[in-house]
Amino acid sequence: MARIDLEHIRHSYLPAATSDADYALKEVHHSWQDGGAYALLGPSGCGKTTLLNIISGLLTPSHGRVLFDGRDVTGLSPEGRNIAQVFQFPVVYDTMTVFQNLAFPLRNRGIGEAEVARRVGETMEMLELTAFAGRRAQRLTADLKQKISLGRGLVRSDVNAILFDEPLTVIDPHMKWQLRSQLKLLHRQFGHTMVYVTHDQTEALTFADTVVVMYEGEIVQIGTPEQLFERPRHTFVGYFIGSPGMNVLPVEVDGATARFGSQSIGLPRAVEIAHDVRTEIGIRPEYVRIGTRGMPLVVTKLEDIGRQKIVRATLEGRAICAILAEGAEVPAHPRASFDPKGINLYADSWRVETEDGR
Amino acid sequence: MTRTWNNRAWFMVFPVLALVAFNAIIPLMTVVNYSVQETFGNNLFFFEGVKWYEEVLASSRFHAALWRQFLFTGTILLIEIPLGVAIALAMPRSGPWVSVCLVLMALPLLIPWNVVGAMWNIMALPDIGLLGHTLRQLGIDYNFTRQPGDAWFTIVLMDVWHWTSLVVLLAYAGLRSIPDAYYQAARIDGASHWSVFRYIQLPKMRRVLTIAVLLRFMDSFMIYTEPFVLTGGGPGNATTFLSIDLVKAALGEFNLGIAAAMSIIYFLMTLLVCWIFYTLMMRGQDQ
C-alpha cells in the first residue's frame, strides 16, 4: 500500500505533440492518499484510462513523474511497481483452474507452494470462490471471471494499489451491485489504495470517498460526492453528475444581481466579473421550486419517475428542468423560483466563489 | 397445438437433394459400383464382392504407399505448424509492415500446384537449378532424381514453402483476436514470455490451429500434383504417395476395381483421421 503522487503528468499518444489538442492528458498534478478509495469519473475519451495506465506503468507519460511513497517509479514496469489492475473485460487464463489462476502471480514471483496454497485459499474464501477452486476458469460466468481477475491482485498481499478500469461493464446489473458492495467491504477490511475508473456516476458515487472528475484530459474537480453535487466547480461536472443534470442559464451579472432575460436573480453576494467573460448560473433541478410565485414558465413535459416527477419546461425561451417533490402538483399558471443556496455562478464555465469562507 | 403432417414439404427439399445427388452421391456410388465388380470393355460387369478390397488391403504396394503417405504428412505437419506459429509470433502487431508481411505470406498460396511443382523441379535441377547447383557447389552430393533422400528433402521443402503461409495467416488471425488486456494482465501478473505464450497465446490459437492442422492434413494426405510434376513418384517408388499410386493403378494399369477399392479406402481413412484429430483437439474445450 502506498501514497501515489502524480507530478505534472502530461501524455500524448503522438510522437511529436505540439498543441494542447494533441495531448490525451493535458496536465494532471495530484496525490492519491495511502488507503484511499478513489473514483475516476468522466465521459468516454476524457483520458481516464490513459491516466490509470500511467499509474499502473502500462504507459510511460510523455512528461512528468509518478511517485509511490516518494520513490520515483516513472520508468518502472507494472511488475516493478507491484500494482494490481482489473480490466473492463475479465481476463482469465483459460486453460487453468480457478486455483491455478490465483496462484499464477505468486508462482511467477517464485513464492513457495505452501505459502501459495495458504494465500490463494484465503483469497478464494474472501471472494467466495472456494467452491470453484478446481473448476476450469474458461466456462465460468462473467462476474466470477471478474472476481478471479480481482483475486489475482488481492492474492499479492503487498500490492501498492489496486486499479480498476470500468470493471463492471460486462456484469449483469444485479451482480454489479453485489460486486461493488464486496469491493467496498474489501477496501474497509484491508485498506488498499484503490482507484476505480468509470463513466457511471452511480458507481463512482457509491464506491468512492473521493471522486475525481475528468473532462477533456484534465481533472476538473476532486471532491466528495456531496461537494460534486452541491458545488460543481465546472459546468461539465454539473451536467455530468446528477439526474437530470444541472440547469445552466446564460446571465448578465451586475453586482449582486444576475439578469436572465427579463428576470432578475439575486446572488448571495456581489461579484466583480470582467466584461469579456461568458457568465452563467447553474441551478440543480432539485433547487428549482415550482409554485405560484416567481418567474412564469411553460411546462412542456412531465415525467413520472416514481417518487418524484421531473418537470421539463421553458423559462424565458430556455429549456429548464425541475424536480417536483412527492405529492406536489404543477399549478395552473406555474411559476418558478430558485432556492438561493442552490445557485452557482460560472464565468467561462468555471465556478465563481459567491460565498464567504468557502 | 396439433401438428399437421404434410408430405408435400418434401418437394421443397428435392432441389437440394438433386444437387447433392449429382455432385456427391452419384459419383461416389459409381466408384462403389466399380469397387465391387470386375469390369471389361463393352460394358461387361461381373460382381466380385469384396475381392478388390481384400486384394488392396493385403498388397505390400499399398502398405508402402500408405506408410510413405503418413510419413510425409507427419513430417510436414511437424514442420509447418510450429514454424507457422513462430513466424506469426514474429510478425508485427500493427503498423505499415503488417500489410507487407501479409502480402508476402499470401504469395505462395496464390501459385497453382502444377506451377509450384515445375518451379521446384527447375530450381532443384542438379546441373542448372539454383538450389541444386548451389548445394553441389557446397560439396553436397545432391541429386533429387537419383537419390530417394534428396527427393524427399526437396518435396518436403517445397511443401513447407508452399503451405506454411497458410498456417501463418491462420495463427496470425488467432493472435490478433487476443485483446490487449490479456497481455497487460500478464505483465502485471509477472508472467514470462514463455508463460504468455503457453497460457494466453496458445490457448487462444487453439481453434485456428485445429483448422490449420485439419486443412494441412487433408491437403497433404491427398497431395498429387506437386510430387507428380517434381519427381513423378520417383526415384523408383520413393515418393509414390497414395494418390499417385491410385492414378497409376487406375490409368496406368487400368485396374478399375483395384483403383476404386483404393479410392474408397483412401476416402474412409481421410475421414477417420480427420474425425480423430478433431475430437482430440476439441475434447479439452468441451469439458
Tens-place pLDDT, residues A221-262: 888 888 888 889 899 888 888 888 899 888 888 878 888 878
Q: What is the C-alpha separation between B211 and B83, in angstroms, rounded?
A: 16
Tally of residues, chain A: 358
**Share of residues in chain A with pLDDT > 90 (%):** 0
Q: Which of A54, A77, A79 should be substituted to probe chain B, the one whose Cβ sees the most B Cβ atoms within 10 Å?
A: A79
* Residues of B contacting chain A (CB within 8 angstroms): 179, 181-182, 184-185, 187-192, 195, 199-200, 203-204, 284, 287
pLDDT at A176: 83
Instruction: Count other C-beta atoms under 10 Å from residue B145's C-beta.
Output: 17
pLDDT at A358: 43
- Whether A55 and chain B come into contact, CB under 8 Å, resolves to no
- On the question of pLDDT at A357 being above 50, the answer is no
Provide the residue-wise pLDDT of chain B in tens; the chain has 287 residues.
567 777 777 788 888 888 888 888 888 888 888 888 877 767 777 777 787 788 778 888 888 888 998 999 999 999 999 999 999 999 888 888 888 999 998 898 998 888 888 888 888 888 888 888 888 888 888 887 788 888 888 889 999 999 999 999 999 999 998 988 899 888 888 888 998 999 999 988 888 898 898 889 888 888 888 888 878 777 877 888 888 887 877 777 777 888 888 888 888 888 888 888 788 777 755 44
The nearest alpha carbon in chain A to B186 belongs to: A105
- State the DSSP code for B161: H
- State the DSSP code for B21: I
Beta-carbon separation of A85 and B192 below 8 A: no
Interface of A with B in 264-293 (CB under 8 A): none
* Residue B20 CB partners (closer than 8 Å, separation 6+): none
Candidate from B185, B204, B287 with C-beta closest to A136: B287
A248, A281 in Cβ contact below 8 A? yes
Beta-carbon separation of B203 and A77 below 8 A: no
What ipTM goes with this model? 0.75
**Strand partners of residue A345:** A281, A352
Which of B147, B112, B131 is CA-nearest to residue B231? B147
Q: How many CB pairs under 8 A join A and B?
A: 54
- Whether A108 and chain B come into contact, CB under 8 Å, resolves to yes
Phi first, then psi: give them for residue B223, nearest 5 degrees: -60, 135
Record the cell numbers describing residue A193, joined without a space.
489504495
A29, A7 in Cβ contact below 8 A? yes
Q: Which of B188, B206, B281, B282 should be substituted to probe chain A, the one whose Cβ sees the most A Cβ atoms within 10 Å?
A: B188
Beta-carbon separation of B181 and A91 below 8 A: yes
Q: Calculate how close chain B gets to A68, using CA atoms only, in Å.
A: 16
pLDDT at B134: 85
Contact list in B for residue A139 (CB cut-off 8 A) is 287
Q: What is the C-alpha separation between B27 and A185, in angstroms, rounded?
A: 70
Q: Calculate how close chain B gets to A82, using CA atoms only, in Å.
A: 8
Q: Which amino acid is at B238?
A: A
Candidate from B182, B187, B203 with C-beta closest to A77: B187
Beta-carbon separation of B185 and A136 below 8 A: no
Q: Calculate how close chain A gets to B253, using CA atoms only, in Å.
A: 53
Q: What is the C-alpha separation between B38 and A101, in angstroms, rounded?
A: 64
Q: Calculate how close chain B gets to A313, using CA atoms only, in Å.
A: 46
- Whether A149 and chain B come into contact, CB under 8 Å, resolves to yes
Record the cell numbers describing residue B110, joined without a space.
496464390
pLDDT at B116: 87
Which of A31, A74, A345, A69 is CA-nearest to residue A219? A31
Domain boundaries, given as residue ranges, for chain B:
61-286
Phi first, then psi: give them for residue A100, nearest 5 degrees: -65, -35
Contact list in A for residue B185 (CB cut-off 8 A) is 85, 87, 91, 149, 152
Phi first, then psi: give them for residue B85, nearest 5 degrees: -65, -45
Q: Which of A53, A108, A120 should be substituted to probe chain B, the one whose Cβ sees the most B Cβ atoms within 10 Å?
A: A108
List of long-range contacts for B89-97, beta carbons under 8 Å, 24+ apart: B89/B171, B89/B175, B89/B197, B89/B201, B91/B168, B91/B172, B93/B175, B93/B176
Beta-carbon separation of B188 and A83 below 8 A: yes
Phi first, then psi: give them for residue B191, nearest 5 degrees: -75, 145
DSSP letters, B199-267, are IIIHHHHHHHHHHHHHHHHHHHHT--HHHHHHTTT-STTTT--HHHHHHIIIIIS--HHHHHHHHHHHH
Q: What is the C-alpha separation between B148 and B158, in angstroms, rounded?
A: 15
pLDDT at A65: 87
Q: Calculate how close chain A gets to B89, using CA atoms only, in Å.
A: 19
The nearest alpha carbon in chain A to B199 belongs to: A93
Interface of A with B in 227-246 (CB under 8 A): none
Domain boundaries, given as residue ranges, for chain A:
4-235, 245-352
pLDDT at A356: 56
**Which CATH superfamily hosts domain A4-235?**
P-loop containing nucleotide triphosphate hydrolases (3.40.50.300)
- Pairing outcome for strands A218-223 and A210-215: antiparallel
Q: In what order do the strands lie in the sheet with A343-347?
A: A247-250, A279-283, A343-347, A350-352
Q: What is the C-alpha separation between A305 and A34, in angstroms, rounded?
A: 40
- State the DSSP code for B37: E
- Whether A158 and chain B come into contact, CB under 8 Å, resolves to no
Q: Calculate how close chain A gets to B279, using CA atoms only, in Å.
A: 18
Q: Which of B189, B202, B209 should be substituted to probe chain A, the one whose Cβ sees the most A Cβ atoms within 10 Å?
A: B189
The nearest alpha carbon in chain A to B181 belongs to: A87
The owner of cell 505499415 is B96
SS (H, E, C) chain A: CCCEEEEEEEECCCCCCCCHHHCCEEEEEEEECCCCEEEEECCCCCCHHHHHHHHHCCCCCCEEEEEECCEECCCCCHHHHCCEEECCCCCCCCCCEHHHHHHHHHHHCCCCHHHHHHHHHHHHHHCCCHHHCCCEHHHCCHHHHHHHHHHHHHCCCCCCCEEEECCCCCCCHHHHHHHHHHHHHHHHHHCCCEEEEECCHHHHHHHCCEEEEEECCEEEEEECHHHHHHCCCEHHHHHHCCCCCCEEEECEEECCEEEECCEEEECCCCCCCCCCCCEEEEECHHHEEEECCCEECEEEEEEECCCCEEEEEEECCEEEEEEECCCCCCCCCCEEEECHHHEEEEECCEEECCCCCC
3-class SS at B93?
Answer: coil
Q: Calculate how close chain A gets to B75, using CA atoms only, in Å.
A: 28
Q: Please give the helix or strand (H or E) that residue B45 lies within, else none.
A: strand B44-47
Beta-carbon separation of A56 and B189 below 8 A: no
- On the question of pLDDT at A193 being above 90, the answer is no
Residue range A56-112, pLDDT digits in tens? 888 888 888 888 888 888 888 888 888 888 888 888 998 888 899 889 988 888 888
- pTM for this predicted structure: 0.75
The nearest alpha carbon in chain B to A148 belongs to: B185
Alpha-helical runs (H) found in chain B: 9-20, 26-35, 51-58, 60-90, 97-106, 113-124, 130-137, 148-176, 180-188, 193-196, 202-221, 225-230, 242-247, 256-283
Beta-carbon separation of B192 and A108 below 8 A: yes
Q: What is the CA angle A125-A131-A135, rounded to 5?
A: 120
Residue range A126-148, pLDDT digits in tens? 888 888 888 888 888 888 888 89
3-class SS at B1?
Answer: coil
Q: Specify the CATH number of the domain B61-286.
A: 1.10.3720.10
- Pairing outcome for strands A84-86 and A162-165: parallel
